[in-house]
């Protein structure tokens, strides 16, 4: 348990509490503004190119906003704190499904299709189950990490292939957004800048939260919860912005893509860098992560949507995760 403050101080450089609070406030403001612009650019690009917005969300928004998880887990792993690296992944996956998807559904019911559930949803569930199976025995090897990383490239290939098979975007979600084909590259630039701003703001917000957590002397698992939720804030901001605009596919693509990248790419690389024994990660937290993915899938499959009530249930699972972490 004593390793958490050491790792965090080495990452943060021992800044004052006041600066950390300022980072939290500034990071939150930039996140909201940048995420809204990111969603708008992603939708305009999808409509201009006549490709599925769920693929734009999964491959670009979902993977892009997972960069903070990659940074935190990789740094923790290289410094020898495997527990913090993997706790960050498990907490982030759980927060994405419960807090992010749940909050988006409370704002506006998240609609989907059987095709998305059968393909992208099932792919995300397989990734989460594979990660859980590797973690539950308490030890991880470089071979297992390599399997996860290879799985990430397979997942990307499948997403691109499916995207080409379903090139027509849902018209009802896109009718209110005007596009100009001649400004495609302008939107790409705007989207890239917004994505970078979202990731940087999320990382700065995370740094501030970690600094405050270090001052309180928190445990490795609870630090993992803080970093997991902190690194999920870009996904949360993007999902809220997408939900306000009625972009259900972008909400789902964001969550599915982020969890795919976390479970396969982020966890796989962290394990390859620092294989070993997991000492602090409670198996119950892993079970909650899997349960959240299953519940979300059942909710979406029953009526092809996640309702406001079901969103509240998912948020309740997040509360249970926090309680178990404490």
Instruction: Give the CATH number of the domain where residue 235 resides.
Output: 1.20.1420.30
Domain contains 271: yes
Domain contains 6: no
Domain that holds residue 262: 15-325
Residue 312: how many other CB atoms lie within 10 Å: 13
Domain contains 184: yes
pLDDT digits over 205-257, tens only? 778 877 877 787 777 778 788 878 877 877 787 788 878 777 776 777 778 88
Q: How far is CA 282 from CA 96, 273, 306, in A?
A: 19, 22, 29
Of the listed ranges 2-11, 17-26, 116-125, 201-210, the one predicted with least confidence: 2-11
Number of domains in the chain: 1
pLDDT digits over 264-283, tens only? 999 999 999 999 999 888 89
Determine what percent of the chain is predicted with pLDDT higher than 90: 23
Q: What is the mean pLDDT of residues 42-59?
A: 72
Three-state SS across the chain?
A: CCHHHHHHHHHHCCCCHHHHHHHHHHHHHHHHHHHHHHHHHHHHHHHHHCCCHHHHHHHHHHHHCCHHHHHHHHHHHHCCCHHHHHHHHHHHHHHHHHHHHHHHHHHCCEECCHHHHHHHHHHHHHHHHHHHHHHCCCEECHHHHHHHHHHHHHHHHHHHHHHHHCCCCCHHHHCCCCCCHHHHHHHHHHHHHHHHHHHHHHHHHHHHHHHHHHHCCCCHHHHHHHHHHHHCHHHHHHHHHHHHCCCHHHHHHHHHHHHHHHHHHHHHHHHHHCCEECCCCCHHHHHHHHHHHHHHHHHHHHHCEECHHHHHHHHHHHHHHHHHHC
Determine what percent of the chain is predicted with pLDDT higher than 70: 85
In this prediction, residue 10 carries a pLDDT of: 40
> Full-prediction pTM beyond 0.85?
no
Domain contains 110: yes
Domain contains 5: no
Domain contains 4: no
Domain contains 7: no
Domain contains 10: no
């Amino acid at each position: 348990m004593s390793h958490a403050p050491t790792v965090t101080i080495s990452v943060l450089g021992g800044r004052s509490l006041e600066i950390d609070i300022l980072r939290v406030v500034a990071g939150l403001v930039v996140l909201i503004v940048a995420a809204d612009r990111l969603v708008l650019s992603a939708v305009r690009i999808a409509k201009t190119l006549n490709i599925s917005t769920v693929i734009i969300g999964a491959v670009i928004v979902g993977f892009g906003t997972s960069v903070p998880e990659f940074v935190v887990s990789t740094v923790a792993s290289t410094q020898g704190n495997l527990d913090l690296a993997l706790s960050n992944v498990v907490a982030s996956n759980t927060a994405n499904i419960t807090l992010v998807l749940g909050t988006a559904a409370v704002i506006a019911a998240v609609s989907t299709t059987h095709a998305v559930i059968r393909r992208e949803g099932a792919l995300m569930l397989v990734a989460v189950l594979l990660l859980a199976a590797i973690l539950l025995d308490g030890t991880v090897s470089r071979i297992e990490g390599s399997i996860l990383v290879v799985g990430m490239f397979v997942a990307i290939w499948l997403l691109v292939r499916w995207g080409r098979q379903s090139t027509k975007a849902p018209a009802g979600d896109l009718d209110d957004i005007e596009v100009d084909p001649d400004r495609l590259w302008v939107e790409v630039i705007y989207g890239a800048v917004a994505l970078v701003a979202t990731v940087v703001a999320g990382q700065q917000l995370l740094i501030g939260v970690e600094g405050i957590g270090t001052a309180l002397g928190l445990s490795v698992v609870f630090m993992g919860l803080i970093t997991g939720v902190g690194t999920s804030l870009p996904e949360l901001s993007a999902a809220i912005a997408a939900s306000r605009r009625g972009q259900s596919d972008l909400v789902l693509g964001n969550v599915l893509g982020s969890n795919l990248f976390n479970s396969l790419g982020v966890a796989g690389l962290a394990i390859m860098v620092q294989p070993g024994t997991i000492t602090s990660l409670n198996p119950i937290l892993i079970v909650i992560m899997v349960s959240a993915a299953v519940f979300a899938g059942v909710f979406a499959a029953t009526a092809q949507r996640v309702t406001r009530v079901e969103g509240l249930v998912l948020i309740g699972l997040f509360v249970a995760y926090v309680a178990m972490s404490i």
